[in-house]
Amino acid sequence: MKRTRTVLAGALAMAMLLSTMGCSDSGSSAPASGSSSQGGSAAPSASASAPASGSTGSSESSSGKKSNAFPLVTEPATVSVFTNNDNGVDLSQNWFTKKYEELTGIHVDWQVVNSDQYVEKLNLMMAGGDEVDIYSTVNKNIGKTLVYKYGSQGIILPVNSFFDTCESYYLDNVLKNDETWYKAVTAPDGNIYGFNDVGSCFHCSQPIKMWVNKSWMDRLGIKEPTTPDEFYDMLVRFKNEDANGNGDPNDEVPLSNCTEATGSSSFMAGYLMNAFTYSNPSQKYLYLQDGKATVSYTQDGWREGLRYLNKLHSEGLMDPEAYIQDRTTMKNRNDSGDVTVFGAVPAQHTGVLTNTNANDRWKEYIALPPLTGPTGLCITGNSSLSNYDMYRTMISASSKNPELAFRFCDGLFASEEVGLMAGFGEEGVTWHWARDDEIGKDGEKAVYSQIGDAVPVEGDEYFNNYRWGSMFAIYPNNHSKWATAQDMSVPGTDYYERHLYLQTVPYKEKRADISMVMPSFFFQEDDNAEIARLQTTILSYVDESTAAFVTGNKSIDNDWDAYLKELENLGLNDYLAIYDRYYADYNK
Q: Which of the 8 DSSP states describes residue 46? A: T
**What's the average model confidence in pLDDT over 485-506?**
82
**What's the average model confidence in pLDDT over 251-270?**
76
Kindly tell me if the per-residue pLDDT of 322 is higher than 80: yes
Burial class (CB in 10 A: 0-12, 13-18, 19+), 217: buried
Please give the share of the chain, as a percent, with pLDDT higher than 70.
87
Alpha-carbon distances, residue 153 vs 129, 136, 149, 488, 530 (angstroms): 12, 19, 6, 54, 21
- For 231, phi and psi rounded to 5 degrees? -65, -45
Kindly tell me if the per-residue pLDDT of 491 is higher than 60: yes
Angle at 495 between CA 33 and CA 204, to 5 degrees: 60
Cβ-based neighbour number of residue 376 at 10 Å: 7
Burial class (CB in 10 A: 0-12, 13-18, 19+), 457: exposed
Please, where are the H alpha helices in 241-326?
265-272, 300-314
Banded model confidence at residue 562, pLDDT cuts 50, 70, 90: very high
Q: Which of the 8 DSSP states describes residue 143? A: E
pLDDT: which is higher, 490 or 265: 490
Q: How far apart are CA 466 and CA 97, in angstroms?
A: 9
Banded model confidence at residue 255, pLDDT cuts 50, 70, 90: very high
Q: List, in sequence order, every residue forming a beta bridge with 293; answer none if it has no partner.
A: 288
Please, where are the H alpha helices in 296-453?
300-314, 327-335, 402-410, 416-424
Contact by Cβ (8 Å): 89, 75: no
pTM value surpassing 0.75: yes
**What's the average model confidence in pLDDT over 109-124?**
93
**What's the average model confidence in pLDDT over 482-508?**
83
**What's the average model confidence in pLDDT over 467-488?**
88
Beta strands in 397-519, from DSSP E residues, in sequence order: 431-433, 448-450
**Average of per-residue pLDDT values in the chain:** 86
Q: pLDDT tens digits for 387-433?
A: 788 889 999 999 999 999 999 999 999 999 999 999 999 999 999 99
pLDDT at 57: 57
Judged by DSSP in three states, 343 sits in strand
Q: How far apart are CA 353 and CA 349, in angstroms?
A: 8
Judged by DSSP in three states, 427 sits in strand
**What's the average model confidence in pLDDT over 528-540?**
95
Banded model confidence at residue 474, pLDDT cuts 50, 70, 90: very high
pLDDT at 56: 58
pLDDT: which is higher, 119 or 581: 581
- Sheet of strand 365-368: strand arrangement: 253-255, 342-347, 209-213, 365-368
User: Which among 394, 421, 391 is positioned nearest to 410, based on CA atoms?
Assistant: 394
pLDDT at 33: 31
Q: pLDDT tens digits for 429-473?
A: 999 999 999 999 999 999 999 887 778 877 788 888 999 998 999
pLDDT at 18: 32
pLDDT at 524: 92
- For 579, phi and psi rounded to 5 degrees? -65, -40
Banded model confidence at residue 55, pLDDT cuts 50, 70, 90: very low
pLDDT at 23: 32
Q: List, in sequence order, every residue forming a beta bridge with 294; answer none if it has no partner.
A: 287
Please, where are the H alpha helices in 399-556?
402-410, 416-424, 496-508, 525-551
**What's the average model confidence in pLDDT over 363-380?**
96
Burial class (CB in 10 A: 0-12, 13-18, 19+), 5: middle
Q: How far apart are CA 36 and CA 42, in angstroms?
A: 10
Element (H, E) at 345: strand 342-347
What radius of gyration do the chain's Cα atoms show? 26
pLDDT: which is higher, 60 or 458: 458
**What's the average model confidence in pLDDT over 126-133?**
88
Judged by DSSP in three states, 142 sits in strand
Domains and CATH numbers, the chain: 2-201+389-424 (3.40.190.10), 207-380+515-527 (3.40.190.10)
Q: Do strands 134-136 and 77-84 pair parallel, antiparallel, or not at all (unpaired)? A: parallel
Q: pLDDT tens digits for 5-49?
A: 433 444 433 333 333 333 322 222 232 333 333 333 333 332 232
Cβ-based neighbour number of residue 568 at 10 Å: 11
Q: pLDDT tens digits for 325-362?
A: 888 999 999 999 999 999 999 988 888 888 887 788 99
Q: Which one of 14-18, 185-189, 200-204, 452-456 scores highest in mean pLDDT?
A: 185-189
Kindly tell me if the per-residue pLDDT of 559 is higher than 90: yes
User: Which among 297, 204, 90, 198 is positioned nearest to 497, based on CA atoms?
Assistant: 204
pLDDT at 28: 28
Q: Which one of 21-35, 44-58, 243-257 scores highest in mean pLDDT?
A: 243-257
Kindly tell me if the per-residue pLDDT of 133 is higher than 50: yes
